[in-house]
Amino acid sequence: VLSVAQLAAIMGAKQTSALIPLCHPLALTKVEVHCTLIDGESLACTDATHNRAVKVRATVKTTGKTGVEMEALTAVQVGLLTVYDMCKAIDKGMIIGPTYLVEKEGGKSGHFVR
């Protein structure tokens, strides 16, 4: 499941301009995705039956002068949707999120770090 989610996330990053209105296509130089299974009591979930999570982290780069945060966020969401699709027979009550930007460089807004 994690390997398929990783591939889907990479493909999602490359298709961002087809999915998000007015998002222009970019020549991506790097799309790196890590999918990790988190197991145990460290999860912030009040339901004791949900003690596992999948973390998807995407790093996207381009040589252009624009940011690629939309590509990274799309990658994460497509990866998580793939996990949901492949695991929905086991648990239709899965929760997707939160998804957030960790760091961004380039573009008009400059450098951002959460």
**Residues taking part in catalysis:** 85
How far apart (Å, rounded) are the C-alpha atoms in residues 13 and 32?
10
59: nearest Cα among 6, 96, 95, 4: 6
Cβ neighbours of residue 76 closer than 8 Å, sequence gap 6 or more: 9, 56, 57, 58, 99
